[in-house]
Structure 1
Amino acid sequence: MITRTGPGRLIRVKERMNGAMYREILSDNLLPSARALKMKRGWVFQHDNDPKHTARATKEWLRKKHFKVLEWPSQSPDLNPIENLWRELKVRVAQRQPQNITALEEICMEEWAKIPATMD
């Protein structure tokens, strides 16, 4: 999650994600991130058109939780602002050259925490 006040929680997904896991991640992290970032009511959630995101069960879950979701054109990753953030994180992590998966996870978390609310 990214917002105008900064990035939300970064979590490691240790296995192949499916729709149920995606909804669990949202359940465990979306509102806590919004609260931690002191977001006001009326914010809009955006995700891309990955099948896990557009699954009927996911749409229903979001509707029941009263999340306002931004409609998103298919095949448009260039419009998604989080893509810039992923690139920034990759560059920062590569500069630190993690030597194993544990170091990779630690460095990702450290660098994510350093990302400012606004980036040039």
Structure 2
Amino acid sequence: MSHEYFPVNQAGLSYGVAFDESAVAAFLADHPDYDPEKDYDLMRDACVPELVSVSSEDSADGYVLEEDLQEEPATPADAMELTKRNSEGYYVNVYDADTMEIIGVYKIGGTGDN
């Protein structure tokens, strides 16, 4: 995966806002023949950093691991469990981009009432 359009922290992870306007513009300049029907995965890999900017439950600005946002089920049973978990909501850690210290949690899915 290429994340050349984002800064990189001391741990070697790219960080920033997913589909940041400047990252998308740079990607499109580098790929003038981009076809969203065929090349979306290429753009997604380039324009989504490994650490994605969020605000934690207590309003601390930080980053979540992109892999925590995009879980892929391996089996139909995993898919059912993930669907249930997403409907109920679950929490992932929020990190400081430089130190990778956990600074809060971020809720994924759910109604927001929990």
Q: TM-score, normalised by structure 2?
A: 0.24
Structure with more strand by fraction = 2
Structure with more helix by fraction = 1
Higher relative contact order (CA 8 A, sep 6+): 1
